[in-house]
Amino acid sequence: MLEELGQVITGIVTEKNDKKIYVQKSGVTYEVNEAVDAEIGDTIKGFVYINRNDKYKMTINPPEIQVGKYGWGEVVRSRRDLGVFVDIGLEDKDMVVSLDDLPLETHIWPDKGCKLYIELAIDNQNRMWGKIADESLIIAQSKRATEENHNDDITGVVYSTKVAGSYVLTDQKFLGFIHPNERPREPRLGEEITGRIIVVHPEGSVNISLFPRAHEVLEQDAALIYQVLKRSSGQKIPYTDKSKPEDIQNFFGISKGQFKRSVGRLMKMGIVKQEEGYTHLIKEIEE
């Protein structure tokens, strides 16, 4: 195994022509990607790797992600028999995160555009792999949320997927958790999500919901009916789709048609039900 692969080294220029410069380190020759003003015998410092065509290369613009150095890389494609390919900033090499390091359920594998926090690792055959950071490294860079952050809109990246739910690092570096009941579907590993903080725990982590607030999901008439139900005694009102149009108009200031459409939508969302001449609120939406 070449121990210097995936790291920044200093090599000696051993060959130079009109197009390329080559450096050597520990008996291995690397082709330098960039045009460098150097002569034979000079030293050049750069990041060394093996590209997709199995050529030994050096770049003087090292990526953030290296052996022993973590960073965020973007997934560019996947292969079910191998894993996912991550762009770390090299023009001729993407790093594979092995399927062995990915969830068993392929429907939550990272997709194109997802982001993974990885370092590089080299195996005994000089193959370069991306290795997902241990959860402790995510926790180490996190910050504490406060009660002032409650109900804040957030954006973050899913860094772990478990049966209990999805774990997120937000843009503010808060550690977030999404319970299965607070998401319309299970996000992929590495997926960027947008949601809102619904709980701030004493230790500074947060619970996140991916569902919209009531005023964001309900049109004006439905929101009006919802608010009336919330404030009514027993959270019920003596109006249904069987009520007289003039009664609905006098109470709500909307037509019976508008009332029926809005109540119908609330019923489909599981927020209200109609029973024995009343419309009942059966589920509250966080404001």
**CATH value at residue 239:** 1.10.10.10
pLDDT band at 215 (very low <50, low <70, confident <90, very high): low
Is pTM beyond 0.85? Reply is: no
pLDDT of 225 higher than 90: yes
Q: What is the pLDDT of residues 231-266, one digit of tens each?
A: 999 999 999 999 999 999 999 999 999 999 999 989
For residues 71 and 63, the answer to whether their CB atoms sit within 8 Å is: yes
Task: Tell me which DSSP letter residue 234 carries.
Answer: G
At 185 the pLDDT is: 95
Residue 87 belongs to domain spanning: 71-133
Q: Are residues 150 and 205 in the same domain?
A: yes
Q: How far apart are CA 191 and CA 132, in angstroms?
A: 14
pLDDT averaged over every residue in the chain: 95
Burial grade of 270 (CB within 10 A; 0-12, 13-18, 19 or more):
exposed
Same domain for 194 and 221? no
Q: How many domains does the chain have?
A: 4
134 residue type, one letter = D
pLDDT at 220: 84
Report the CATH number at residue 165. 2.40.50.140
| Distance in angstroms (rounded) separating the CA atoms of residues 157 and 72 | 10
